[in-house]
Structure 1
Amino acid sequence: MSRKSGSRSSSKRSKKSGGGSNVFDMFTQRQVAEFKEGFQLMDRDKDGIIGKTDLRATFDEIGRIATDAELDGMLADAPAPINFTMLLNMFAERQTGEADDDDVVAKAFVAFSDEQGLIDCDVFRHALMTWGDKFSSQEADDALDQMDVDDNGKIDVNSIIQMLTAGGSDDAATGEEDAA
């Protein structure tokens, strides 16, 4: 019966999710593919495990200096070596709700932007530290360090959306302009 009513992937999902213990059932196929791509980028020595040298190389590539203590702390978060399945389990444990689709992420950032599509850096930093899962001052600074802030302390909303989603979403920005 479930075979007729759903697509092939949904029938597979319903068969798998009977026990509910499969971590792959917690994410869409697209999300699993994106996690896999990220894992492969981080697994520099291609041994199927993310270790300290892999993490260090990843941080070096993005221009962030990580101390040995920080790297050891990250690795200690995992109860076993970090293979792909362990990485998915770690994401699943930290997930507070459903993962947001790209359009939801885009609309969230557009909500902070002005009519020119710019976000005030100080206002955004304050929001990160005040609402939702509150960022520490250092976490807010780390997040803002990943964004292109212009000389006027403004961040282009489209550049953030493109950085955080699969290619960005012009629809969300357009919808905001239409509403203005």
Structure 2
Amino acid sequence: MGEDKSSKKEKKSKKKDKTEKDDAADGAGEETKEPKRAQRATSNVFALFNQAQIQEFKEAFTMMDQNRDGIIDADDLASIFQQIGRDPDPKQLKLMMEESPNQLNFTHFLTLFGEKLHGTDPESTLRDAFAMFDQSGKGQLSEEFVKDLLMNVGDQFSKDEVKQTWKEAPIEGGQLDYLKFVQIIKRGKEED
């Protein structure tokens, strides 16, 4: 009987160890979701340009990255201005650096050019546009209200265009989650 108890304890111990390993593996799986999402966003940026264009942007980036640290910062921009005979205005440099919400590495550099060249607004601009109508501050707007705006204001959508747009829209209980919607517009819909 003593062996049965120790055998049961060993099984429980092994089961506990296995559960801890599974939990750790699950946690590791969660950590890999973020890089995959970032990788998808990056691949979308690179899809905007052909290989020759990407190479030209890389050469321009390398030329601007004066200290060769892989990031364009205010000092790098100031050096570029000085090289072309202009005295850099600190306020102008600050505004230029604020164009990118993160450090300006090559991917963000390419994203900025993609947005400028392909006519899409930055994510923050889209979010702010929706937020102007969000009196509750909850990140949601009435589905009918947004449909009405799309069909009757500015560059008006047709019923078919609204229907197509709504296929991807995160709508629940008649409310459009515009924070998620902006992410879908900019990065595409994430797979579950």
TM-score by length of 2: 0.39
Which of these two proteins has the greater Rg computed from alpha carbons? 2
* Larger helix percent: 2
